[in-house]
Every structure is written in C-alpha cells, then in structure tokens.
Amino acid sequence: MTKTPEFLPIRELGRLLRKKEVSPVELAKFFLDRLEAEGPKYNALVTVTRERALKEAREAEAEISQGRYKGALHGIPYGVKDLIATAGNIPTTWGAVPFKNQVLDYDATIVKKLSNAGAILIGKLAMIELAGGMGYAYPQASATGPAITPWGNKDSWTGGSSSGSGAAVAAGLVPFAIGSETWGSILMPAHNCGISGLRPTYGRVSRYGAMPLSWTLDKLGPMCLTADDCGLVLNEIAGRDPCDHTTSKSSFAYDDQDPSDRTFKFALLKDMVANGEEAVKANFGESLKILEQIGTIEEVEFPDLPYEAATRTILNAESASIFEDFFDSGQFHELSGDSSKFGAYSRLAVPATDYLRALRIRDRICDVANNLLGSYDAIIGTPRNQVATPINQPIRVSSITGLARDILGSVGNIAGLPSVAVPNGFGDRGLPTGIQFMGNAYEENSVLAAARAYQNITDWHNQHPSD
C-alpha cells in the first residue's frame, strides 16, 4: 500500500479493493495491528478477533481475485460494540465485569449479514456496561475503563454507550463500527468523537443477538467517517429477520445519488441550543448558514407532551424486566459504576399501569412527530449541547434519569425515528461538536442525503486526530 488507509472512507477503500490495488488480507492486518496497538490507549478495545478476521480476509481475497466482488463492504474491516453476539469462542462481555467470560458462540443477525457482504470482523469494542441502562454518573462505568475520545488532550470522554465504536472510528482503528442506541448511544459518541453516526428507524436492523436493554427502544446502527459510509453499511445490515419479529417488512436500498442539486426543507426546533455552550451555539449557527445554501429552514415547536417521562418509563420498565434476575443475583455489586447505579433497583417498582400509560402516550407522540415532521426532509438540531466531559468528571447532563429535557432524543427514540449525526466544528479544549438530521420513520435516505449534502460543502469529516 502506498498510502496509509486509516482515514480513508469505505467508498475509497472499496475502490482500492475492487481494483486489487490493496488486498483484503493486507488491509485486515493493517487494521488488526493498528487496533491492537492503539485501541488500549483509548480504552476502546475488548477483544481483537485476529483468527476470525484473517480467515474472513483470505476468503474475501480469493473471491475478489476470482472476480466475485460482492459490493461496497467486501474486504472492509470493522468492529462491533461488545453487546453483539459473535461465534468462534469470542467473549461477548456487554461491557460489564459480571459478564466478562460470557461466550454466546453464535453470530448475531447483523454480524451474519456483514459476513455475507464480505466485511471482516476485526474486533469487539468497548462500551458503557450494560449499554448504560443501569444509569451512570461517570465514564468509568465500563469493564475496560473510561473510553477516551482521540480529540483534544486525550483526557475527555467518548460519550456512551457505544464508546469504543466512537473512539475506534475516530482514531482510524477500524473503517467502520456497529453501535447501538436505546437513547443517545450512537449520536452522543458520534458527537464527542467527531464522526458520523446513524441511528436507523426502529425495526430497520435486526436486534437478534444483541444484548436487550429495552425491547421497544433498542436499535443497531453504523458509526463511520462519513454519512455516505453510513448509507453503505445500512444497505447491508437492514432488512426483515424472522429471528426478530420487530423488524420491518419495508425494504431499504441506499440511494447514493449526489444530493448537491436537491433543495431540502429543514425544520429547526425552537431554542435548540439555548442552553448550549458558546462554541456549540456558534458552530450550530454556522451550520445553519451552510444549510441555507442547500435548503429552507423553518422554526418549529413540539406541543407540550411528557416526551422524556414516557421514554424513561418504557426504558425503566423494560430494562427492569430484562435484568430482574441480575438484580436478584447480587452480581450488581460487581458493576464498575459508582454508587448511583443502585438507583436502578427502583425500576422494579414501576407500576404496570405507568408502563402502559407510557405506551399509550407513545402512540400520541408518534402522531405528533409524523404531523410535525411529515413535510420536512429532516429536523435539525445538536446531538449534544456541550463538548465531551473530562473523563475524571461526572457526566454533566444525563437525560436517561431525572427530569432533564431532551426533546429530540426522546421523540426520536420513543417514536423510533432515524437520525444521523455529523461533525460541524470544534469547541472547548479542541473537542468536536456535531449536528444531527432527524427524519420521518423509514426515511433514512432523506436524512443521509441531507447529511451528505452538508458534508459536500464542509470539511469537518475530513479532519482527523493525531495518534
């Protein structure tokens, strides 16, 4: 290889592989070595899957050399958040000490789909324990320690819970990674790590083989260098799965036509950044000026509904049921989080009527979101209103517990709407900020087109941290 490939987008790596200018084995070895050497610096790594990766890479090499090129991900290395089951005697730790020796020994549907597309699994990536579902006040709530964003002074948090996925993509240790989001866990690390992350529509991607935290809120999605790469990955992982009855019958085909000539219609949530850091406000203001070049922007306001309370109640009740035996086991003490984690026991006392009320309110919220967003390509906002927190400080805002406001996050997740976060500048301590494009259910192509159009005229996604 004449040029090091660590920060090449999937589309470019695919072109090199297809033209046989680089071999899948060579590429896999490059990223395996890089992930193994650099991953621990960021507390981003749980397990390197070298044996499996080289086997898959040799298969890809043989196929490509015989002219059997499978598509955009053929021969591309990737990592998965360590809550996704993988065969081959590889642990799936859920980021938590009590599960550090757990071996599920089957491939989650998403891993099977990526294997079928010819992608090469090179590692399992760090995460906040149990996907942050038990609540946490510090980034230390992970079996592998606090994950560190490669930006700034390398002393700030990646965000969670797809922490390792965010750090590994940002540091050029994997060309793409799979994360999961129940409420904020893809968009937040994408923001803190200065990368592009897509939360697909609920049911777009099979959850089979992924740790459940909340059956009706959990989504799996790609974390990449560009929005275009997110589309390429979604194209391979989307689809109906008989093993996950919540997967949608709607098919998905990534529309990668150049969006430069499109005129977008954006909605802007009123007072979106009112409580944000100055740099977040300034960068968001600059982003709006850029978006005015490619579309119209209308300010909108969501009607007064208990968005966050309903979302929290669903998450609390479902996670309590999923982990009830774990609460009873006493192993909760082995988790790495601070003592505030014990607050999660309270979820076992949420009344069934409250859970059902939340599901009834969810129906109203879906209608509200559809009515409000229906005529727009995307609603724009920030994934977070502050840059990454130093790893030794408490996380400043958590919407999962308490009564903190997060309208876009709660509406997006309770209504299962797709959203893509992309970088839009830098703030305090040289840390990245971001912008998100959230759209109507099943309209990933619209939000991806908007994000790609934004990235066509900005350069933030082409800036990378030094090792």
Comparison of 77 and 409: residue with beta carbon closer to other proteins: 409
Comparison of 288 and 366: residue with beta carbon closer to other proteins: 366
Q: Is 185 among the catalytic positions?
A: yes
Comparison of 7 and 342: residue with beta carbon closer to other proteins: 342
CB of 13 to other proteins, least distance (A): 37
Q: Which of 185, 214, 316, 398 binds other proteins (CB under 8 A)?
A: 316
Q: At what angle do helices 352-373 and 407-414 cross, to 10 degrees?
A: 100
Contact 42, 122 (CB under 8 A): no
CB of 327 to other proteins, least distance (A): 8
**Pattern of binders to other proteins over 344-373, x per CB under 8 A?**
xxxxxxxx--x-xxxxxxxxx-x-------
Which of 23, 81, 124, 399 is flagged as catalytic? 81
Establish if 403 lies at the interface with other proteins (CB under 8 A).
yes
Helix (H, G, I), strand (E, B) or coil at 339: helix
Establish if 313 lies at the interface with other proteins (CB under 8 A).
yes
Q: How many residues bind other proteins (CB under 8 A)?
A: 41
Which of 156, 165, 185, 206 is flagged as catalytic? 185
CB of 405 to other proteins, least distance (A): 11
Residues 64-103 within binding reach of other proteins (CB under 8 A): none
Comparison of 134 and 169: residue with beta carbon closer to other proteins: 134
Comparison of 62 and 243: residue with beta carbon closer to other proteins: 243
Comparison of 206 and 382: residue with beta carbon closer to other proteins: 206
Q: Which residues are registered as beta bridge partners of 298?
A: 267
Query: Sheet containing 419-426: which strands, arranged edge to edge?
Result: 45-48, 120-125, 77-81, 176-181, 219-224, 196-199, 419-426, 432-438, 378-381, 264-269, 295-300
The answer to whether the bond into 161 is cis (omega within 30° of 0) is yes
**Pattern of binders to other proteins over 131-160, x per CB under 8 A?**
----x-------------------------
Residues 177-216 within binding reach of other proteins (CB under 8 A): 216
Q: Measured between alpha carbons, how far is 312 from 316 in angstroms, rounded to an integer?
A: 6
In 223-376, which ranges are continuous DSSP H helix? Answer: 227-237, 278-294, 307-322, 324-329, 352-373
Contact 190, 64 (CB under 8 A): no
| Distance set, CA 232 to CA 71, 80, 171 (Å) | 9, 16, 20
Which of 115, 142, 161, 287 is flagged as catalytic? 161
Which of 258, 245, 125 has the alpha carbon at shortest distance from 189?
Answer: 125
Which of 200, 190, 212, 211 has the alpha carbon at shortest distance from 237?
Answer: 200
Q: Which of 87, 104, 297, 309 binds other proteins (CB under 8 A)?
A: 309
Establish if 305 lies at the interface with other proteins (CB under 8 A).
yes
User: Residue 169: is it exposed, middle or buried by C-beta count within 10 angstroms (0-12/13-18/19+)?
Assistant: buried
Q: Which of 322, 401, 429, 458 binds other proteins (CB under 8 A)?
A: 401
Question: At residue 58, what are phi and psi to the nearest 5 degrees?
Answer: -65, -40
Q: Is 161 among the catalytic positions?
A: yes
**Catalytic center residues:** 81, 161, 185
Return residues touching other proteins (CB under 8 A): 135, 216, 242, 245, 305-306, 308-310, 312-313, 316, 327, 330, 339-351, 354, 356-364, 366, 401-403
